[in-house]
Amino acid sequence: MHRPAPPDCTPENLAFDAALAQVLGALSPLPRHHTLALEQALGRVLAQPLVAGMDLQPWPNSAMDGYAFAAADADTAHAAGLQLAGTALAGHPFTGTLGRGQCVRILTGAILPAGADTVAMQEHVTVHDGRVRLQRPVPPGANVRAPGEDVRAGQTVLPAGSRLGPPQIALAASLGVRTVTVGARPRVALFTSGDELTPLGEPLGAGAIYDSNRYLLRALLQELGAEVVDLGIVADDPAAVRAAFAAAREGADVVVSSGGVSVGDADYVRDVFAEFGAIHFWRIAMKPGRPLAFGRLGDTWFFGLPGNPVSTAVTFHEFVRPALRRLEGEAPTPALRLELPLLEPLRKAPGRLDFQRGIVAPGADGRLGVRSAGAQGSHVMSSLAAANCLLVLPADAGDLPAGAVVTVELLPWPGTPRAGA
């Protein structure tokens, strides 16, 4: 049976790019912010720019183990040599001032003594009887890290919307920043729907399957650091779906469901949602994942993902992931896509934009290429587990020969080798 689409939705088969733009255009960062100690902030998104309160480097210091001297003494340094006046270690400055014809033994990271402006590497000098002679020319200012060379006080080093990885954390720490203000992680209510779904730990009845999407979605959400509210399995019954939405909207920023958004007799999720809220679209011209409902219910966003596990994973990856990142306040960046040659011929039916599971690997010549990860049915989990990328194949493409250049999006989780492959 085909039921008509809800009246408030966009036309069928919205183009992928248009759908993604609609999602990202509709969402804005959550207004909740937290101030965290820097050591708690890995993976979080800055809600305010990080502005340098000091120069980096703070002092002129040596980039090498060697000898610090004044460039004006270079001729003496080559001819008679310079008199060794003391030592500067990292954290233990040379406290005097260099006189003419003098140098100081200096180690990496030590502040340059007053009167010195150049460092000769220790490999480029000889030392005899307290005199240090240059063995080769050293340009003025060599091997000195200048104050503010990396960052100047007052400079914005990380704009709001930056996600904090280890290098960003280290940059903040080098500027003495102890706390950062970050966006809240979205609270996501999750349910799966289908009368065939069985919780793990129970025997499977005839025609039943395990509710793998619950684990898939939980894992995908955990990986993004979302707060997950798991509402369990919801029966193919409008009253049950209504109850699930009523529970889901309690305090959730986003509701994610799987299953029941297609046009089958038992697909109630989209229609029931439309009783409460507005569906922005529900069909996208992509494979897998054509039925994907996106809507809004008050302050809560709704993603009704298709039930086939690979469709669930791909639509989550392409739509829910960027949406959650946006809600957390991350500045939107387009997915990083690479162009790689096919290592083997590839099958593709013309008609829809196709996200095929692939494996990026070196070919026989040692150069990087990409091949199919195996069978591409939207129920085939093993090829999803084997994949480390998605091949993004345009709608009009048909079968492709080995060597054809295709667009590839790396997946953020590791592909596991298949037995026998």
Residues that bind ligand AMP (CB under 6 A): 192, 194, 196-197, 209, 211-214, 258-260, 262, 264, 267, 306-309
Residue 304 binding Mg ion, by CB under 5 A: no
Q: Which is nearer to Mg ion, 194 or 289 (CB)?
A: 194
What is the sign of the dihedral through the CA atoms of 401, 404, 407 and 410? positive
Distance of closest approach, residue 211 Cβ to ligand AMP, in angstroms: 4
Q: Which is nearer to ligand AMP, 168 or 315 (CB)?
A: 315
d(CA 170, CA 364): 40
Which of the stretches 56-64, 131-139, 221-229, 253-261 binds Mg ion when contact is defined by CB under 5 A? Answer: 253-261
Distance of closest approach, residue 326 Cβ to ligand AMP, in angstroms: 26
Residue 259 binding Mg ion, by CB under 5 A: yes
Provide the 10 A C-beta neighbour count for residue 361: 14
Q: Residues 117-139, buried b or exposed e (16+ Cβ, 10 A)?
A: bbbbbeebbeeeeebbbbeeebe
C-beta nearest to ligand AMP: residue: 307
Distance of closest approach, residue 307 Cβ to Mg ion, in angstroms: 5
- Give the side-chain half-sphere CA count within 13 A for 355: 27
Which of the stretches 60-68, 147-155, 256-264, 369-377 binds Mg ion when contact is defined by CB under 5 A? Answer: 256-264
Residues 6+ apart with CB under 8 A from 329: 29, 30, 45, 46, 47, 160, 161, 182, 183
Residue 322 binding Mg ion, by CB under 5 A: no
C-beta nearest to Mg ion: residue: 194
Q: Which is nearer to ligand AMP, 43 or 264 (CB)?
A: 264
DSSP 3-state assignment of 63? coil
Q: DSSP secondary-structure letter at 127?
A: E
Which 173-202 positions form the footprint of Mg ion (CB under 5 A)?
Answer: 194
Helix axes 269-276, 238-248, angle to 10 degrees: 50
Q: Which is nearer to ligand AMP, 69 or 316 (CB)?
A: 316
What are phi and psi for residue 159, nearest 5 degrees?
-70, 160
Contacts with Mg ion by CB under 5 A lie at 194, 259, 307
